[in-house]
Amino acid sequence: MTTQVSERTRVAVIGAGPGGYPAAFLAASMGMDVTLIDPEAKPGGVCLFRGCIPSKALLHAAHVLDQAEAAAEFGIRFERPAIDLDALRAWKDRVVGKLTDGLGLLTRQRRVRYLQGRARFVDAHTAHVRLDGELVEVEFDYAIVATGSVPARPGPLAIESPRVWDSTRALEVPEVPGSLLVVGGGYIGLELGSVYRALGSRVTVVEMTQGLLPGADRDLVAPLEKRLRASGVEFLLGTRVAGLEDSGTTVKVDLSGAEVDGVREVDRVLVAVGRVPNARDLGLEHTGVQVGPRGFIEVDAQRRTAEPSIFAIGDVAGEPMLAHKATHEARVAVEAIAGLPATWDPLAIPAVVFTDPEIAWCGLTEAEARERGQAVEIATFPWAASGRATTLDRPEGLTKLVLEPGTERVLGVGMVGSGAGELIAEGVLAIEMGARATDLQLAIHAHPTLSETVMESAEVFFGQSPHFTSRARRR
CA torsion 451-453-459-464 (nearest 10°) is 120
Closest CB to ligand FAD among 353 and 402? 353
User: Who contacts 248 (Cβ-Cβ below 8 Å, separation ≥6)?
Assistant: none
Name which of 70 and 124 has its Cβ closer to ligand FAD: 124
Residues in Cβ contact with 236 at an 8 Å cutoff, skipping those fewer than 6 apart: 204, 205, 206, 207, 255, 257, 259, 260
Q: Does 244 help bind ligand NAD (rule: CB under 6 A)?
A: no
Do the Cβ atoms of 412 and 364 come closer than 8 Å? Answer: yes
Stretch that binds ligand NAD, among 15-23, 85-93, 270-278, 329-337 (CB under 6 A): 270-278
The residues assigned a catalytic role are 447
What 3-state class would DSSP assign to 236?
strand
> Does the footprint of ligand NAD cover residue 321 (CB under 6 A)?
yes
- Told to check if 188 binds ligand NAD by CB under 6 A, we report yes
Q: Which does 291 bind (CB under 5 to 8 A by kind): ligand FAD, ligand NAD, none?
A: none
* Closer residue to ligand FAD (CB): 363 or 382: 363
> Are 49 and 148 contacting, i.e. CB atoms less than 8 angstroms apart?
no
Partner from ligand NAD, ligand FAD, none contacting 184, C-beta within 5 to 8 A by type: ligand NAD
Between CA 344 and CA 160 the distance in angstroms is 40
Is residue 185 involved in binding ligand NAD (CB under 6 A)?
A: yes
| 214 binding ligand NAD? (CB under 6 A) | yes
Contact flag: residue 252 with ligand NAD (CB under 6 A) = no
Nearer to ligand FAD, 37 or 255 (CB): 37
Q: Binding partner of residue 20 among ligand FAD, ligand NAD, none, CB under 5 to 8 Å per kind? A: ligand FAD
For 14, counting Cβ atoms within 10 Å of its Cβ (0-12 exposed, 13-18 middle, 19+ buried), the class is buried
Please tell me whether residue 158 binds ligand NAD under the rule CB under 6 A: no
Residue 18-37 contact track with ligand NAD, rule CB under 6 A, x = bound: --------------------
With CA atoms as reference, report the closest residue to 51 among 77, 94, 17: 17
Amino acid identity at 157: L
Residue 326 CB neighbour total at 10 angstroms: 28
Question: Would you count residue 425 as binding ligand NAD (CB under 6 A)?
Answer: no
DSSP 8-state code for residue 79:
P
Give residues in contact with ligand FAD (CB under 6 A). Answer: 14-20, 37-40, 45-47, 51-52, 55, 118-119, 146-149, 167, 188, 278, 282, 314-316, 321-324, 326, 354
322 is a contact residue toward ligand NAD (CB under 6 A):
yes
- Provide, rounded to whole angstroms, the least separation between the CB of residue 421 and ligand FAD: 9
- Closest residue to ligand NAD using C-beta atoms: 186
**Residue 357 makes contact with ligand NAD by CB under 6 A:** no
Work out what residue 353 binds among ligand NAD, ligand FAD, none; the CB cut-off runs from 5 to 8 Å by kind: ligand NAD
For helices 323-337 and 20-29, angle between their N-to-C axes, nearest 10 degrees: 30
27 near 34, Cβ under 8 Å? yes
Min separation Cβ 410 and ligand NAD, Å: 22
Alpha-carbon distance 202 to 178, whole Å? 6
Residue pair 361/350 in contact (Cβ under 8 Å)? The answer is yes
37 binds, among ligand NAD, ligand FAD, none (CB under 5 to 8 A by kind): ligand FAD
Determine the 3-state secondary structure of 312 from DSSP.
Answer: strand
Phi, psi of 218 (to 5 degrees): -65, -35
308 binds ligand NAD (CB under 6 A): no
Picked from ligand NAD, ligand FAD, none, the partner binding residue 34 (CB below 5 to 8 A depending on kind) is none
* 189 is an interface residue for ligand NAD by CB under 6 A: yes
One DSSP character per residue, 118-156 reads: EEEEEETTEEEEEETTEEEEEEEEEEEE---EEE---GG
Instruction: Find the part of the chain contacting ligand NAD (CB under 6 A) among 276-284, 338-346, 351-359, 433-441.
Output: 351-359
Residues that bind ligand NAD in the complex, under the rule CB under 6 A: 183-189, 191, 206-209, 214, 240-241, 272-275, 320-322, 352-354
